[in-house]
Structure 1
Amino acid sequence: MNDIVERACAAALYAPDDAGLDTALDTGASLLAADPSAWPGVGRALLARGETYVRQAWERGWQPADVLRLVRRDLGERHVRLTEDLFAAEGRRYARLPERWPVYEVWWDSAASAPGRAGDEAYAERAALRAKADRFTLATAFLEVLRLLVRLPSIEPVGPVPGDVAGLPQAAHIEPRMLGRIRALLAKAEATPYPEEAEALSAKAQELMARHTVDEALLVARGEGPARAPGACRIGVEPPYEEAKAVLLDAVATANHCRAVWNAAFEFSTVVGFESDLEAVELLYTSLLVQGTAAMTRAEAAQRSGGRKRTKTFRQSFFLAYASRIGHRLAETAEQATAGSLLPALVARDVAVGSRAQEMFPRTTTTRLRGATDHAGWTDGTAAADAARMGGGTRPGLPGRPR
């Protein structure tokens, strides 16, 4: 079986991206699917080959969400399921996974009532049944996944790979009960139809985030807490309107003592900062993105009710205005947060984050955003940003010290 898989991979994985690619994939899939009696062994050998490529991807700096993002963009949902199967198969070798690392179930082992890797013989048949696909179709999809994996370039690592986590210090997270309160507040802010209530809820969440950051910085400055190094995480920045989304994420990261570097080709930004701040960035960015999308939908509905057709240009202009205005608001509140006796502790934190970001990304470039050409979209996006519930507001009665 290994010889069949070797020949199929040689035919399909390294063919150039041109008119001959379909022929190469057909040749490889035909080799894999030709003999029904060999199909179980072929499935086992494909899993083993895929595990090797997955491990190579981790060693090149990739993480599961990054790979799945590309598979979904360049291939399809059937390929996503196959990729998750490979993650599950490769993950069986580890007793412990790094923080933020998802766990994927090896569903075909339990389904076949076989312990460990003995159930891999059942994988190919069960995967074909799950996908409602014949052997040739499934083999083609599998080769397309392997082709994507083997061609992944090296990128900046943002954490340990599976198997390299023993003895690593635990990151300082937001305290679980506080994190639960923050999530609940933001969820209510996104769900309520009343702007004043939503603003108060999100402002309270922002206040809790700020309290944790300040407390952690002061403890370290006084020598009462362990000194920790900044880490990093990746956050997806996917089309449509990815440029505006990257601007929004950068603004949220900067206001929360982090640095964001956007990789447009792979549809993510790498955010560098201390773990609790990274958690805050993910929460706040996600909430603001949800609010911005909902506001854009309402603005489009209002434009249509007035007899005006809204276009992609309107939506692009809306999101650019929204991100730009949010950035200005966050910058204003962040400046207030660094005033007074807390400044030295927070400056030390910022210096550490800046040094880590420079180490990870010694060469970065700037990009020119595509212009906003729809006046109504820009106006509505600015208004939506002014109404966004992110905390740090200046209205009386609202808690407002920003991060």
Structure 2
Amino acid sequence: MDSAFGTALYADTDAALDAGASLLAADPSADPEVARRGRDFVAAAWRRGWQPADVVRLVRRELDDHHVRLVARLILDEQEHPAPEEAGRGSRWAAQLGELDGFAPPPRTDRFSHATAVLELYRLLLRLPALEPLGEARAPRSSPGSPERPSGGARVLSRIRALLAKAEATGFPEEAEALSAKAQELMARHSIDEALLAARAHDPNVPSACRIGVDPPYETAKAVLLDAVARANRCQAVWNEALGFSTVVGFEPDLEAVELLYTSLLVQATTAMTTAEAAQRAGGRKRTKTFRQSFLAAYAYRIGDRLAAVAEAQTEASGSRAEGVSGETPGPDLLPVLAARDLAVHEQVTRLFPDTVTTRVRGVSDEAGWHQGAEAADRARLAARPRLP
């Protein structure tokens, strides 16, 4: 066992991998120990700041579907007997584990092929770098004498998802626009209401964070789009180009909005880009790569402008409503509350990422792609797709 692992995991050559796989394949009695060491590698990834979705995303990026199924099974097996420090990970961690239940077991292969895949996976897990540990916000608790926090958040999200489902299903653009606008309004208002409730209850809750995959191709343009969505929802995004994700820092209701809205806009952008590209090819143009890059870059920047305008309008409307209420116990002013939350997010980003640099989209040289991307952004529905049940 030690010889097989020492040979295969600490060298980069195919010959070393084959030698280690041959040793494991020849000794079926080693299988339980191989599985135990795999669980240890997974537990070590948690200690380095990784989460289940992060590991699966990287394995899919670097290896193939067989390895993804192997690591999904390893993660679930490791979670059956977690270490004491792994208890109480939170709802986001539990949701990531729940998504792994849908992975089918890896197909049966000969022992050598299986051992090779296992060692390829372990080699990747062994070399995972340390990541910034992401805390998950605790459930808010009311202090004595503070206002009761309503339990309507789930109902609001249900209404939002219902509106979005109708917007996705309708064949009438005007109806989709109206439904999506209403969903976006509810989402923004829910975020502001949460901020005011937390301020009234003197809730010391701090921002948390999540990681969202930014997949190739055209990762830079996609990262810019995610950054625009994050900023509009009072979050900040930090892109890790090497590992293919952005870390989004913010308060929980805002993180939910960012995840849903980014996914929706990315799907809309891809659909619009494919349609525009087909028209370009029909006209005899062949510069597909530069067209796509320019299209997505323009889409990201234009969407950023639209989202910022919508967020500002909603904040002004909420402030006006708050000023117009009479006969109620005075609460905190909206703008100072939001400013305090923005500052808290900024400070959390600084703690997690003391050294960051600014990047720009490169390779934007296709004028037609830029103009059509901006037009597609103007047509985009500023709302998120509903999650599948």
CA positional deviation for 1:310: 5.3
- Structure 1 residue aligned with 2:5: 9
Once the two structures are superposed, residues 178-223 of structure 1 have per-residue CA deviations (whole angstroms, 9 ceiling, x without a partner) of 2122223234334444322222121111111111111111122223
Q: Alpha-carbon deviations, 1:22-48, whole Å to 9, x = none?
A: 0110110000012xxx41x32211110
Where does residue 74 of structure 1 map in the other structure? 62
What is the CA-CA distance between 1:331 and the residue it aligns to? Answer: 2.0
Cα deviation, residue 171, structure 1: 6.0
When residues 105 and 169 of structure 1 are mapped into structure 2, their CA distance, relative to the original with a 3 A threshold, is: closer
Identity of aligned residues (%): 62
Match of 1:270 in 2: 247
Q: Which residue pairs with 1:395 in the alignment?
A: none
The equivalent of 2:361 in structure 1 is 369
Aligned length: 351
Match of 2:154 in 1: 176
Q: What per-residue deviation string (whole Å, max 9, x for no partner) do you get for residues 334-366 of structure 1?
A: 333444452111111111111111111111011
- CA deviation vs aligned residue, 1:49-98 (integer Å, no higher than 9, x gap): 01111001011011111111111111111111111111011010147653
How far, CA to CA, are the matches of 2:99 and 2:357 in structure 1? Answer: 40
3-state SS of the aligned residue for 1:100? helix
Change (3 A) 1:270 1:105: closer
Which residue in 2 is equivalent to 1:42?
30
Runs of 5+ unmatched residues, structure 2: 142-150, 320-332, 384-389
Report the 3-state secondary structure (helix = DSSP H, G, I; strand = E; otherwise coil) of the residue aligned with 2:297. Answer: helix
1:140 match: 116
Tell me if structure 2 keeps the 8 A contact 1:321–1:378. Answer: yes
Amino acid at match of 2:244: E
The aligned residue for residue 204 of structure 1 is 182
Q: Does residue 296 of structure 2 align to residue 327 of structure 1?
A: no
* Amino acid paired to 1:156: E
Does 2:129 match 1:153?
yes
Is the 1:258–1:271 Cα contact (8 Å) retained in structure 2? Answer: yes
SS at match of 2:41: helix
Aligned to 1:103: 97
- Letter of the 1:296 partner, please give it: M
Quick check: 212-221 or 381-390, which moved more?
212-221
- Residue 93 in 1 paired to residue 81 in 2? yes
* TM-score of the superposed pair, with normalisation by structure 2: 0.84
2:288 is matched with which residue?
Answer: 311
Match of 2:210 in 1: 233
The alignment's TM-score, normalised by the length of structure 1, stands at: 0.81
For the Cα contact (< 8 Å) 1:85–1:104, is it kept in 2? Answer: no
DSSP 3-state at the match of 2:237: strand
Structure 1: runs of 5 or more not aligned: 108-125, 161-167, 392-403
For the aligned residues, what is the CA RMSD?
A: 2.3
1:204-223 equivalences under 5 Å are 204-223=182-201
